[in-house]
Amino acid sequence: EAQVTQNPRYLITVTGKKLTVTCSQNMNHEYMSWYRQDPGLGLRQIYYSMNVEVTDKGDVPEGYKVSRKEKRNFPLILESPSPNQTSLYFCASSLSSHTLGQPQHFGDGTRLSIL
Amino acid sequence: GENVEQHPSTLSVQEGDSAVIKCTYSDSASNYFPWYKQELGKGPQLIIDIRSNVGEKKDQRIAVTLNKTAKHFSLHITETQPEDSAVYFCAAGGSQGNLIFGKGTKLSVKP
């Protein structure tokens, strides 16, 4: 089954404790992206990757890191999490970038709580 | 910067009525306009999309219209059913190769 898999689905942690949210897709997609969703703000892009070893900042990249060493994986790293990073996070992938008009496939989300 | 405005933020309709959600975008280079439906506890799922060379697209009870001159596009759901209740997001394919999302519309369909 074609899917985007995020782990963990839920995490409660403390300020400053490094964490990684993994994202994996099995559709051989080139484009992957991370979003955060907050009430009243919709989906805001954190980082995206057009292909392996190519990553770019989205609208809200501060406090986050990403890497794209393999085509299928795109982990999101919070080196020193803070309470304002408490949010619902989504990973998404598409065949290529949206200049070509490709739909994005989303994972089911990771709810992070930073105390 | 690039922006997508979505209205209304909440919409309540009676089962069987139609629902319309409208979006406007700022980047005239945008050429791809998807609509997503998000149910509770799930990620957004694509329900319909339209490209800039088309003015209207229909898929059963769902249709999308695009006015490139005015830079707005709309989602139309006819004969609404309770299972249509969800949050709907519009998006515009930006000139940077990414998607800019609207803030979402919470649709409630009352039986």
Neighbours of B2 (CB within 10 A): 16
By CA distance, what is B103's nearest residue in A?
A42
**φ and ψ at residue B64, rounded to 5 degrees:** -130, 140
Task: Please report the pLDDT score of residue B98 as a whole number.
Answer: 77
Phi-psi label, residue A50: left if phi above 0, alpha if psi -120 to 50, beta otherwise:
alpha
Using DSSP's 3-state secondary structure scheme, residue B83 falls into helix
Q: List A residues 70-109 in contact with B (Cβ-Cβ < 8 A).
A: 90, 92, 97-109
| Helix or strand holding residue B108 (H, E) | strand B105-110
Q: If you average pLDDT over residues A69-77, what whole number do you get?
A: 97
Task: Please report the pLDDT score of residue B96 as a whole number.
Answer: 62
Instruction: Residue B80: name the closest of B45, B59, B110, B50 by CA.
Output: B110
Give me B86's structure tokens: 């969800």
Interface test with A, best of B46, B88, B98 (most A CBs within 10 A): B98
Give yes or no for A40 touching B (CB within 8 A): yes
Q: How confident is the model at residue A1 (pLDDT cuts 50, 70, 90)?
A: confident
> B94–A98: do the CB atoms touch at under 8 Å?
yes
Task: Please report the pLDDT score of residue A97 as a whole number.
Answer: 65
Query: Cβ(B5)–Cβ(B102) under 8 Å?
Result: yes
> A105–B46: do the CB atoms touch at under 8 Å?
yes
In order of A44, A94, A97, the CA distances from A101 in angstroms are 19, 10, 7
Q: If you average pLDDT over residues A37-66, what whole number do you get?
A: 93
Q: How confident is the model at residue A19 (pLDDT cuts 50, 70, 90)?
A: very high
d(CA B11, nearest CA chain A) in Å: 15
Which among A44, A50, A105 has the least Cβ separation from residue B97? Answer: A50
Mean pLDDT of chain A: 93
- Residue A42 makes CB contacts below 8 A (sequence gap 6+) with B6, B89, B101, B102, B103, B104
Distance CA B37, CA B46 (A): 6
By CA distance, what is A37's nearest residue in B?
B103
Mean pLDDT of chain B: 93
Task: Please report the pLDDT score of residue B18 as a whole number.
Answer: 97
Task: Please report the pLDDT score of residue B111 as a whole number.
Answer: 92
> A43–B31: do the CB atoms touch at under 8 Å?
no
Distance CA B35, CA B20 (A): 12
Task: Please report the pLDDT score of residue A109 as a whole number.
Answer: 96
Residues of B whose CB is below 8 A from A99:
31-32, 93, 95, 97
Whether residue A101 has pLDDT greater than 70: no
Query: Cβ(A60)–Cβ(A36) under 8 Å?
Result: yes
> A42–B97: do the CB atoms touch at under 8 Å?
no
Indicate the pairing of strand B10-14 with strand B105-110. parallel
Query: Cβ(A91)–Cβ(A32) under 8 Å?
Result: yes
> B93–A106: do the CB atoms touch at under 8 Å?
no
Higher pLDDT, A96 or B111: B111
Over the stretch B36-81, which tens digit does the pLDDT of each residue have? 999 998 999 999 999 888 889 999 999 999 999 999 999 999 999 9
Instruction: Give, as one character, the DSSP assignment of residue B68.
Output: T
Give yes or no for A41 touching B (CB within 8 A): yes
Whether residue A99 has pLDDT greater than 80: no
Q: How confident is the model at residue A79 (pLDDT cuts 50, 70, 90)?
A: very high
Query: Cβ(B8)–Cβ(B21) under 8 Å?
Result: yes
Task: Please report the pLDDT score of residue A100 as a whole number.
Answer: 61
